[in-house]
Structure 1
Amino acid sequence: MIAIIDYGMGNLRSVQKAFQRVGCQAEIVRDPAAVDAAPAVVLPGVGAFGDAMENLQRTGMIEAIYRAVDAGKPFLGICLGQQLLFESSEEFGITRGLGIFPGAVKRFPEGELKVPHMGWNQVAIARPSPLLEGVPDGSAFYFVHSYYVEPADPELVITHTEYGLPFASVVGRRNVFGIQFHPEKSSTLGLRILENFGKMVRT
């Protein structure tokens, strides 16, 4: 079973339904003990970085996330969930993140681009990953975000996307992955990514 963390932010039901469409059992959980019991974990999210960190702290989920990562469980952050994996965000001042990956969350440049970055955009594969099995280089996915991750370690970058500047759209190391776009809204190839994540749980 894949635990989808409910901390009061994000389109949880659509993520759950997308996993179910590819044959993966996924449950929305609100209790850290349920995260501890699950063999894999998804951290979704839409909204403000600071509010998300406060909600995770209040619900006791931060410690559960660290335990899941340390235990080697497959872990996937989606959109804001990806950003929370990093050390800090400059949204509304500097806010500390989970610090699982080194690096920071930056805002797209004001006045130079239409912000938020919204709609379909291509991803360029920087290195192979089991998360992208069967996904061709240059495939398009659906994005909605005003901030992007800037990893301190370039080896974290699995794909990058161009939107005025190149940014990391998929990151990962060992059992932990982050995706800036919304696979649950990205048609067949988005579902393929979720299916690939599900295969990590079963193997």
Structure 2
Amino acid sequence: MSAPKVTVLDYGSGNVRSVVRALEHVGAEVTLSAKSQDVLNADGLVVPGVGAFAAVMKGLKDVDALRLIGRRVAGGRPVLGICVGLQILFDEGVEHGVRTAGMGEWPGKVERLQAEVVPHMGWNTVSPPEDSVLFNGIEDERFYFVHSYGVQHWDFDVSQPMMKPPQVTWSDHGGRFIAAVENGPLSATQFHPEKSGDAGAQLLRNWIGRLGKP
């Protein structure tokens, strides 16, 4: 059986090499690229993100990645966002009083964490839903976070009975914030699986294990 082909989106964000190595470690064939054919044709796409919300959105726009990510999601092709790669999937980010529009895949606002110590840096537990795919077998593990901003409220419209609501995983640092979301082909984590040791490696295995499956 051939290894799943995963593209890590290369748009100027830091930390991409560690993501590439982590995915290779769990058995993926990895390409680091922003070329449309690599982004669209891969079995899975990983969108890393480090730094400010606005800077990440600009970097993605500069390589036409927002359109390509949207095409993958519309076609049911798996995408995994990491850290700010999760945040930009929400409606907007607010940093230092500046509002920046996100992709709007999920409702919510990225705001500064309401904690005495910020950034939230280090290991923390999470509370995933019972039928989570990403956290299967690692529900009680700790994951590595480095962030000052997060989504602290979730208000998804469940009035449409034919639409399965996303699965939301929470963590806590001075208050609850979203640690991960699973929504059909679109998944994302606020923490860094590539820095989360064996638990992070298993989460990546869980994700690539679903590539190519309905």
- Scaled to the shorter chain, the TM-score interval is over 0.9
From 25, 31, 34, the equivalent of 2:29 is: 25
How do 1:183-202 residues align onto structure 2 when only pairs under 5 Å count? Answer: 183-202=193-212
Are 1:85 and 2:89 counterparts?
A: yes
From 132, 149, 157, the equivalent of 2:135 is: 132
Consecutive unaligned residues in structure 1, runs of 5 or more: none
Residue aligned with 2:202, SS: helix
Deviations 1:163-183 (A, max 9, x none): 110111011211111100010
Aligned positions, number: 200
With 184-193 and 34-43 compared, the bigger mean Cα shift is at 34-43
TM-score (norm 2): 0.88
Alignment-derived partner of residue 161 in structure 2: none
From 45, 49, 54, the equivalent of 2:49 is: 45
Alignment-derived partner of residue 143 in structure 1: 145
Are 1:177 and 2:177 counterparts?
A: no
Aligned-residue RMSD, C-alpha: 1.5
Residue type matched to 1:35 in 2?
A: V
Consecutive unaligned residues in structure 2, runs of 5 or more: 158-164
Deviations 1:16-74 (A, max 9, x none): 10011111112111212321121211100101111111111111111101001111011
With 177-186 and 100-109 compared, the bigger mean Cα shift is at 100-109
> What percent identity do the matched residue pairs reach?
38
CA distance in 2, matches of 1:73, 1:166: 30
Shift of 1:120: 0.5
Residue type matched to 2:67 in 1?
A: E
Deviations 1:62-114 (A, max 9, x none): 110100111101111000100011110011411000111111111112xx411
Alignment-derived partner of residue 109 in structure 2: 104
Kindly indicate whether the alpha-carbon contact (under 8 Å) linking 2:143 and 2:192 is maintained by their aligned counterparts in 1: yes
Alignment-derived partner of residue 169 in structure 2: 159
Kindly indicate whether the alpha-carbon contact (under 8 Å) linking 1:62 and 1:98 is maintained by their aligned counterparts in 2: yes
Residue type matched to 1:2 in 2?
A: V
Structure whose residues are more often helix by fraction: 1
CA distance in 1, matches of 2:78, 2:51: 24
Shift of 1:157: 4.5
TM-score (norm 1): 0.93
CA distance in 2, matches of 1:134, 1:117: 25
CA distance in 2, matches of 1:195, 1:189: 10
Residue aligned with 1:189, SS: helix
Are 1:12 and 2:16 counterparts?
A: yes
Residue type matched to 2:131 in 1?
A: P
Residue aligned with 1:125, SS: coil
Residue aligned with 2:134, SS: helix
Alignment-derived partner of residue 160 in structure 2: none
